[in-house]
Amino acid sequence: MSNIDPSVPLGDLVNRDPTLAPRLEAMNLDYCCGGAQSLAEACFSNGLVLDDVLARLEGVSTAVPEEWATMGVEDLVDHIERTHHTYLRAALPRLTELTDRVLEVHGSIHPELAEVAALVRELRADLEPHLMKEEQILFPMIRQLCASDTVPTFHCGSLQNPIHMMELEHDRAGELLARLRAVTTAHPVPADGCAAYQALYQGLAELEADTHLHIHKENNLLFPAVVAEEARRGDG
């Protein structure tokens, strides 16, 4: 008998046991932007056999959740900035430069690298302003809300409004990452691929995994908690 309930949303499964994340990633099951979908629904949508998926998920640790899974709102905001924002600010420029270098050397033989480079640049152009909007607008308002006994007056009205915009931008990032995965999976590192080629594809895989977890923490933990805090203060 499986210890995983297939009716539970994917986001909740990862909240309860973050060690499930890489296994879901490997099966292309979207636990971040698609975290509201149950495991059973996600398997059906992706043409996967539920029993096979449950078998692949068996044996993961369910004893102690990761620290971030039990953080309060303010601590979670700090954690996201310190962990994922810091990672992206270093990784995006590095991967852009690496992609351009690999394209220059190998692009004539492997034309798919032009699409990889275009997607990396597009993802960077979307994510860097997104980080700035969170750090300079949304996250300070969340901290202000947590420091107040009532709902502060925000220029945007309810915090649900900027949260909705961030979720839309998350969806866009998820789409770009899915396209990158499709291109790199269809065209893996070739036999003539140099060390930089290998490093690029490894870096893109790390970028996808980190960004999926980043989005999950916001969409499925932070944002629902903020909406609940705003409602509680409004009722008071």
Specify if 150 maps to a domain: yes
When divided into structural domains, the chain yields a total of: 2
DSSP state of 189: P
pLDDT digits (tens, 9 = 90+) for 34-46: 889 999 999 999 9
Specify if 4 maps to a domain: no
Say whether both 32 and 104 belong to one domain. Answer: no
Report which residue type is found at 224.
Answer: P
Say whether both 137 and 29 belong to one domain. Answer: no
Say whether both 74 and 51 belong to one domain. Answer: no
Higher pLDDT, 25 or 60: 25
Specify if 1 maps to a domain: no
Say whether both 119 and 218 belong to one domain. Answer: yes
Specify if 2 maps to a domain: no
Burial class (CB in 10 A: 0-12, 13-18, 19+), 90: exposed
Q: How far apart are CA 90 and CA 162, in angstroms?
A: 25
Report whether 59 contacts 30 (CB < 8 A): no
Say whether both 34 and 89 belong to one domain. Answer: no
Say whether both 95 and 51 belong to one domain. Answer: no
Q: Which residues contact 37 (CB under 8 A, 6 or more apart)?
A: 9, 10, 30, 45
Report whether 6 contacts 40 (CB < 8 A): yes
Q: Which long-range contacts (CB under 8 A, 24 or more apart) does 43-52 make?
A: 43/6, 50/6
Specify if 172 maps to a domain: yes
148 three-class SS: coil
Specify if 105 maps to a domain: yes
Q: What are the φ/ψ torsions at residue 38 (nearest 5 degrees)?
A: -70, 160
DSSP state of 231: H
Burial class (CB in 10 A: 0-12, 13-18, 19+), 202: exposed
Q: State the residue range of the domain holding 226.
A: 67-235
Say whether both 51 and 149 belong to one domain. Answer: no
Say whether both 31 and 122 belong to one domain. Answer: no
- Map 11-37 to HEC letters: HHHHHHCHHHHHHHHHCCCCCCCCCCC
pLDDT at 1 over 60: no
Paired tokens of 54: 């449950």
Specify if 107 maps to a domain: yes
Say whether both 32 and 78 belong to one domain. Answer: no
Q: Which residues contact 194 (CB under 8 A, 6 or more apart)?
A: 102, 105, 106
Specify if 62 maps to a domain: no
pLDDT digits (tens, 9 = 90+) for 110-137: 999 999 999 999 999 999 999 999 999 9
Say whether both 188 and 103 belong to one domain. Answer: yes
Q: Which of 220, 212, 221, 225 is nearest to 159 (CA)?
A: 225
Say whether both 121 and 181 belong to one domain. Answer: yes
> What pLDDT sits at residue 236?
53
pLDDT digits (tens, 9 = 90+) for 141-197: 999 999 999 989 998 889 999 999 999 999 999 999 999 999 999 999 999 889 999
61-70, 200-209, 216-225, range with the lowest pLDDT: 61-70
Say whether both 71 and 47 belong to one domain. Answer: no
Half-sphere exposure of 137 (CA within 13 A, CB side): 16
